[in-house]
Each structure stands twice: as C-alpha cells, then as structure tokens.
Structure 1
C-alpha cells in the first residue's frame, strides 16, 4: 500500500487531509504484507494566492493549480522511509493556512503492480479521522513513487457561523498531465465557531455517556427530544456511528452509517446537535437540523501547557459538520386549526382493533401475520 497523508490548517483551525488515510477492515485471508510508500510534504500559505486579483473562486469551478507552489515529489524507496520537501505560496489574506501534507495510494489487489489503485481522502483532527467523499479508483501503469499531487483549499461563500465553509481540490499530476481526483464545495470545518449567531437555534445538551452510546437532550418545537448516538467497533480504531432521535416513545433514524477512526477512547468524541425552526403551518412543525463533530484541540505548545490549564474555560474545539437535513417534522401541541376553515379534520372512530390475516395473498400484502387497524 502506498501511503500519502495531507495535513491542512484551515484558517485558525487544525485539520489534516489524508489520501487513503482511512483504514478499512481486511479479511483474515487477505492479511498479506503490503509495500508502503509515504510522500510527506508541507505547504505554508496565507489563505491561498489563488484569491489574488485574477482568480475568483466563485466564478471558476476548477482553477489551474499553481504547481510550483504545491507540487512535491518524493523519490523515497518503497520501504516506508521517505524524504520530505516543502514549498510555499503567498497571498493577501491575513489568516494563514499551514499545511504539513503527505499522500497515500493503495493497490486494489494489495500488490504493487500495474493495475487498479484506490485513492481515498479523509480529514483528521487530533485523534479522530473521517472520510471525505467517495474513494476514487484509477488505473496506474506508472511507478506510484513518481506520482505528484496538488492540494489546495479556498474559502466559500459567507455563512453562519462565519468562516466554516471551504472548497477543496485534489489533483493528480503524472508526466505533466493533470487528473482531478477529489473536489467538493461543502467542507464545513472551523475552530470555535460562533454558533450563538444562529438565530432561534435550539442546542441539544449531552447528558449521558455510556460504554457505546451518548444521549443528548433537546427541545424541538416545544417537544422534548432525545438524540441517541451509538457506535459499533468494526476494526482497529474504526467505528460505525448511528444517530437517531426519540420523543414521547416515537423516534426515527437520522444518521445510519457514519464511519470514524478514533485513535483512543471513542467516548472522547462528542457531537453538537442543534435545530432551527423553519416557516411552517402550523407554526413549529418544521425544523432544520445540523450535526457537527466536536474534537478537542490540543495545546500546540507543550511548554505553555501548564499555564494554559490553569485558566478556566480555555479549551478550544474543532467542529466539522457531518450531516444536515431541512425536513425534520416534529412539534408539541401544534395548532392544526390554524390551517384554516377549508381544512377537513379527521377524527378517530373508536379504539384500534386487532385482527389476524390468514390468507396468503393478504399476508403478502401486509407483510406480517398480524396488524392493527385504526378506525
């Protein structure tokens, strides 16, 4: 497996890109030695020269990358050892992007031969790592040690909270030919965003932490709601997360399969969950919901760690938005009569009745042996 890691400091926030840095479980029969090659390099930028005068990222989908600024090649042997190179580009923005980077490539069959290779992109913050986008599969007939990569990010449009939306591009360059392998305009990440600027937001509060779950209590449309986060261990450091909600004995799944690599105790990972009411009839029935991954930002300077710890409320966190929906329909004591006089309201015609379906055709139609009829 050729390994390539990409670290990027976006604005004031600590984050790292990984190409093929997201491990996948390997069946026992596939446990064979793999060749590993690492391409470390570093980038230092002041919010990207790509934003100077001639380039407007809102008008150009894929700007031509500045290869002299960002392309680095490693000529290290395939033993896992490597040599590092660094490059810089400059710009006019005050917030700097510090990007110690490196990149990884994995052969599909596990052998370093000509054929199909998988490129994976993931984002790592401290001890947690999550995938970005879907893997890309390419046919390689060149020496993977001679691959070159161009990685850059640029800020997106104005958002609330401010400074959290980014676009990223990852290009593969071989023999002066460029192939874009990753790109997205919806990377939400930031250090200590001002969530308080979100009008009418209702934040869920972490109340319970168990061995494999967390419970967050919140209020949505005047209804008390619990958001339950559960995780399952899949492989070494790899976990599958699910998020569901429950209110008054009824609930549903929100996130069914979120993969996260945690280098440590999974209970140390937490989430920020909040809802924002939308205009609806009846009022309070429709909500936007956002889920952010919350990671503690370690102190960069170990020498000053003792002085920093002595200060209360001095922790900083990196937040990454991992899921959103604008269709959460939930509320307590909704005023359905506000829909108007043209509405025809239905009423219960008695208690529910239970009956047994015996005919095969009816059983197939109901897909069950018993059902409840609400009259």
Structure 2
C-alpha cells in the first residue's frame, strides 16, 4: 500500500511502499466519468478512524473521504463520513454517478453527484450534493452584462487580477501556501482604494505539478439596485488546463498557452451580495432619505487585550483635536 503523510485533507499518498509497523493503512478507490465533455475522477479514500481514549482496540470504524480530481488538481468534496465496517476495506465496491442539475448560465455546468457503498448487494449512501459546478470550456459569453477580471501578474506564490465592478477598478489577489507534500492552501482577497476583504479563505488543493499552471476565472454581473451599480453577483471558478494528449504538460508561463487549448472550470465561490461601486448616486434613494453629517474628528480609545477587547478608558485627547490619538488596538 501507499505510505501516507497526514495533512489538512486527511492523508496524502506519497508513493508505493510498505506501511510502517503500528501505522494504519489508507485505501484509495478511483472512478472515472465524463460530465459534459469534462473528464473527471472521483477519488474515495478509506482509512481507520483515530482511536479515541478508552475505545476498543478491535474498533471497526473507518473514515471515508471524497475528492474530485481534474487533470493535475484535486480538491475535497463534502465532509468526511465515518462508518462501521466488518468487511475487508481493501475490497469495497462503490456506485459513483452524476446527473444534470437545473438549467444554468453558462449552460451544462451544474451537476448532482452521488456516491454509494455497495456491500453484498446492499447500498449505503455516503456522499451527495446538487451543487457541483464543473464544465469543459463553458460559454461564459452567454452571461449577459458579464464583467471578467483579467490576470495582470503572476508571482512565485500569488496572482493578481483586475476587474471593473460598478465602474470601480478592483484588484483580486490570489495567494497560495505550500503546507504539505503536494498540498496547497489558497486565499482570495479583493482590494480597492485601500479597502478590501477576504472572499475565499483556507481553500485547499492537492496539486500534481506547478501551482502557477492553475489559474482562476473571476467575474461579476450587475444586479438591479438603488443606487444603480451598487450590487453585483460575484463568481470565482478554478481553471485547469486540459491537454488533448495525456503526454502533453501545460506550460508554466501562462502567456504562452495557445488560445485553442481546452480548460475545465470548477466553480468554487459565489456571492449575490457583493456591494461596491464608484461615486454611487445615493440621492436616487428619494426625498425621504436623510443624509448624516460628521460630528467632528474621531475620538480614540485604548483597548485592553486582557479584557477581551473591551474599551478600558477614553483617551486624554481633546475631541476637538486635529486627529486620532495613538492607541493600543486589540
């Protein structure tokens, strides 16, 4: 069996060898299928559950994990499942299938997946979800009023994308950190005019290659709002190169990838409440809207770490002073 190392996704195969004495083994099952012309691999891993204090040494609890592999990227699907097994975990049979979800834009990208464990002709449902967004070369141009971000720069562990959202130029920063053999942690933030927030945090990928070959498709679509251009739908898709020949490997330099190559896209984030805009016309809210005015400069307070972030005392600065007093932030 494969020797394994413990990581954030459970255990990660490192190569074929004999498991050390006293170390449990992990069994991996792989099922291939094609969903909307996109070749997918569903990977099911089975390993003994960690022993809890006082548990019997003859415990038969096993942890099942599911992941989706597309070309050289692998990501977890759903939560792990713990089952009691008295059958041999090295000889299991699974039923793995997908079927189309509701109509979507872009078309043909929403799938429902199911994974069942079959033992002695009895089926046990393990995994299932109706929100698997994946497709080969989706027609994103079919989405009306779409505003796509452009990849502007690529660093050793980051990518920067730019987009116009509500006439505001926004930067989307993708960063990754190598945390174990083949395992990477991704985060995605946005920033505009010195203000931003984290959109995706602690997204994990197992990569069998250079992380710079993995890119993202980020786009927004304006929603009806008052004021106009204030609210947007935001979508982030993982973009994976799909060589026509398995022996072909993607080029590390994203500028050199030909435009006629194919890609598989997986949606990893959505928001229908992304609110940002440039010089929004708040007067459009109508005559009943009452606008506030500032009551002088801000006051500063000291915050004690020991008090759990509670305000301890007001600063001695005059509220009519020229600026914020230096303070200790919790």
TM-score between both structures, scaled by the size of structure 2:
0.79
Given that 2:135 and 2:265 are in contact with CA atoms closer than 8 Å, whether structure 1 keeps it comes out as: yes
Structure 2 residue 49 is the aligned partner of structure 1 residue 108 = yes
Q: 1:170 aligns with which of 115, 131, 134?
A: 115
Secondary structure at the counterpart of residue 212 of structure 2:
helix
Unaligned runs of 5+ in 1: 4-21, 48-94, 306-310
Query: Which stretches of structure 1, 4 residues or longer, exceed 6 Å deviation after superposition?
Result: 95-102, 358-363, 367-375
Given that 2:175 and 2:186 are in contact with CA atoms closer than 8 Å, whether structure 1 keeps it comes out as: yes
Given that 2:24 and 2:48 are in contact with CA atoms closer than 8 Å, whether structure 1 keeps it comes out as: no
Structure 2 residue aligned with 1:275: 220
Could you report, residue by residue, the CA deviation over 1:66-121 in whole angstroms, capped at 9, with x for unpaired residues? xxxxxxxxxxxxxxxxxxxxxxxxxxxxx7787777743111249x9642211111
Q: How has the CA–CA distance of structure 1 residues 312 and 254 changed in structure 2, closer, same or farther, with 3 Å as cutoff?
A: closer
CA distance in 2, matches of 1:258, 1:313: 28
Higher strand share: 2
Q: CA deviation at 1:178?
A: 1.7
Unaligned runs of 5+ in 2: 4-8, 14-19, 52-56, 251-256, 325-330
Structure 2 residue 278 is the aligned partner of structure 1 residue 332 = yes
Secondary structure at the counterpart of residue 204 of structure 2:
strand
CA distance in 2, matches of 1:255, 1:217: 17
Q: How has the CA–CA distance of structure 1 residues 367 and 192 changed in structure 2, closer, same or farther, with 3 Å as cutoff?
A: farther
Structure 2 residue 145 is the aligned partner of structure 1 residue 200 = yes
Higher helix share: 1
Q: 1:321 aligns with which of 259, 267, 282?
A: 267
* RMSD value, Cα: 3.8
Q: CA deviation at 1:177?
A: 2.2
CA distance in 2, matches of 1:100, 1:363: 47
Count of residue pairs the alignment pairs up: 300
Q: How has the CA–CA distance of structure 1 residues 113 and 128 changed in structure 2, closer, same or farther, with 3 Å as cutoff?
A: farther
Structure 2 residue 289 is the aligned partner of structure 1 residue 343 = yes
Structure 2 residue 149 is the aligned partner of structure 1 residue 159 = no
TM-score between both structures, scaled by the size of structure 1:
0.70
Structure 1 residue aligned with 2:234: 289
Structure 2 residue 94 is the aligned partner of structure 1 residue 149 = yes
CA distance in 2, matches of 1:101, 1:242: 24
CA distance in 2, matches of 1:371, 1:249: 29
Q: 1:216 aligns with which of 139, 161, 175?
A: 161
Given that 1:242 and 1:257 are in contact with CA atoms closer than 8 Å, whether structure 2 keeps it comes out as: yes
Structure 2 residue aligned with 1:185: 130
Which has the higher relative contact order, 1 or 2, with Cα contacts under 8 A spaced 6 or more apart? Answer: 1
Structure 1 residue aligned with 2:186: 241
CA distance in 2, matches of 1:114, 1:25: 23
CA distance in 1, matches of 2:94, 2:166: 48
Could you report, residue by residue, the CA deviation over 1:272-311 in whole angstroms, capped at 9, with x for unpaired residues? 00011111111111111000000000123759x9xxxxx9
CA distance in 1, matches of 2:286, 2:44: 60
CA distance in 1, matches of 2:209, 2:316: 46
